[in-house]
Amino acid sequence: MILSKLRELKIALQAGVVTLDYPLGPAPPLPARFRGRVELDLDRCIGCGGCAHVCPARLIILHDPEPRWRRLEIFRERCTYCARCEEVCQEKAIRMTHEFELATNGKADLTDHLEIFMGTCSRCGRCFQPEQPLDRITTTGLRP
């Protein structure tokens, strides 16, 4: 029995160091398709809600407080990093960054409340977002 334990010790010592010094040393290199923190680009987002509908963890929640405003609430503490939201976004407004150190003392640091200005169609009354930011300014009667 002692002889077998000595053989195991010899094998373990020959292997060398197999762990990283990550918290104390540099961060490990990340693969190209690494899925980290969810980031939303409001300039590209049209407020369709496709991301909210496919998220299994209900990370993104939509609210329509007024007919011409859509509120997106992003609760990053719920994220399972599945990247379904990034796959469905036709406008490429959502992307998974390489940021993975999200530890914080406050839960509010992981929550975003974003608002998107939506225009309405004169024929059907459904909402859409104006194409250019300048169009948002020149549209009369749509801002409170």
Contact 28, 22 (CB under 8 A): yes
Q: Give the single-character DSSP code of 123.
A: T
Q: Determine if the pTM surpasses 0.85.
A: no
pLDDT in tens, 60-109: 999 888 877 889 999 999 999 999 999 998 889 999 999 988 888 988 88
Q: How many CB atoms lie within 10 A of CB 75?
A: 16
Delineate the domains of the chain, giving CATH numbers in brackets.
35-131 (3.30.70.3270)
Q: Rounded CA gap, 95 and 35, in Å?
A: 9
Q: Are 81 and 65 in contact (CB under 8 A)?
A: no
